[in-house]
Copies of this chain bind each other. A is one copy, B any other.
Amino acid sequence: MTTFNTVNEQHVKRFIDILGEANVYVDDENRARYAHDETEDLHFLPEVVLKPSTTADLSVIMQYCNEQVLPVTPRGGGTGLSGGALAQFGGVLISMERFKNIIHIDERNLQVTVEPGVITEELQNAVKEKGLFYPPDPSSRGSCFIGGNIAENSGGPKAVKYGVVKDYVLNLEVVLPNGNVIWTGANVLKNASGYNLTQLIVGSEGTLGIVTKIVLKLLPLPKHDLLMLVPFNSAEKACEAVSAIFRAGYTPSAMEFMERDALEWVLRFVDSSLVKVEDGVQAHLLIEVDGNHVDVLMQEMEAIAEVVLQYEAGEILFADSYQQKEELWKLRRRVAEAVKSNSVYKEEDTVVPRAELPALLKGVKEIGKKYGFHSVCYGHAGDGNLHVNIIKGDLSDELWNGTLKDGIREIFTLVKKLGGTISGEHGIGLVQKEFMSIVFDAQQMELMKLIKQAFDPNNILNRGKIFDC
């Protein structure tokens, strides 16, 4: 195993030569700002924080860190939920915050070339102004970076109709651990030329290279959308309704599930005149359809409403204005924050084939009873992607830091049994890697480690994320 060096004065001097003093942080206060992300309560202080703004500078830095065997951790917006952007081994943290140019919106080809430090929502708004659409929209879209979305293969509500980040990435400029710069593919919709390096980088959590330019496919912006909130007296029935809608031939542009607690907690956090959680209601589905023809969308909504009524849905709330839609979406988007502010918690990003969702939810609750923990579940039901938030509440530290792990392990074992896996959109990072062996055997892990070694023989780049090697 490679032994890392620690960052010394000479290293810092070299970094300042390359980037200027303003872009090299060694003081405690500044470094501390880069020591955490949105994952639980993890804290790792980098020895130095660098803020390059060009591929050329980053290339020189990487080459130097590789020669000096310094651990390097790339970081986007710091909104990650698996600890992928944390400097576990100290060393050099590279913040991509200055790579913030939208280089070119190519209206002729429905593509955009963008730097990784652009905030996802800003990118979405910029292309929207041209009548174009970049669908992946994680809840953190107002603060996450598009580069971080690439690293984690992010999803969000619209994935159910439009797919996840990987479905939009055509080509990436990447600085490799040795400092070399490559493009992974070409700016084309079809490619059968060599191994798919693009898709290998997407979701690799910053362990294979640092992305410096991104070419994304765009779609024409749908002209209309309609939204409804559907209450159910049984959470399992709500989950059953989800796959029934698809089986009936409809593909909503969003299909979000919220357990009673999720919506109740967020209502304590966000004012809403629109929504009230009725007695007996155990879960809600938030269902959106989009397209270019309002009359068609109205028909679809009615047909979907008929389907959900067969699953004992209560009174449906149709959003009848832009404001109402915004309010419903705000409630959904802020669930994570509400849960977080309510209690210490651990979030598991389970994903199963869509129709297995009722079995997953039932299993999670049974496992909770067995181990004595309460969970709040919500997520992208149309994708079978259920965020299981395990609430500390008044659980003992002993249970929280001890036997709870066995409960989580049981949840993931169930997920695997149902044909699913341990992360749908948050990544493995630091916090899930101990569970990798549930879904991957020795041969699969060996292949991943050999790929890592091919890209990063000195193992300097985001080491210890996804797996130990």
Contact = CB atoms under 8 A, between A and B. Distances in A.
A3 to B, nearest CB: 23
Nearest to A204: B195
B353 A194 contact: no
A138 to B, nearest CB: 11
A7 to B, nearest CB: 27
A436 interface: yes
Interface string A283-311: 00000000011001000000000000000
Number of chain copies forming the complex? 2
A188 B249 contact: no
Contacts of A251: 219-220
A443 B197 CA distance: 12
Nearest to A433: B194
A332 interface: no
Contacts of A450: 453-454
Main SS class of interface, A: loop
Nearest to A416: B186
Contacts of A422: 193
A272 interface: no
Contact of A293 (B296, B351, B352, B419): B296
Given A110-B246, A194-B436, A188 B419 contact: yes
A355 interface: yes
A203 interface: yes
B152 A190 contact: no
Contacts of A420: 186-188
Nearest to A457: B450
Interface in A188-231: 188-197, 199-200, 202-204, 208, 219-220
Given A192-B428, A193-B432, A220-B251, 8 more contacts: A108-B247, A109-B353, A182-B443, A186-B439, A188-B419, A190-B351, A191-B423, A196-B200
25 contacts: A106-B353, A108-B353, A109-B356, A110-B354, A167-B167, A182-B444, A188-B385, A188-B424, A189-B351, A190-B380, A190-B424, A192-B428, A193-B421, A193-B422, A193-B439, A193-B440, A194-B428, A195-B200, A195-B203, A195-B204, A196-B204, A220-B246, A220-B250, A293-B293, A454-B454
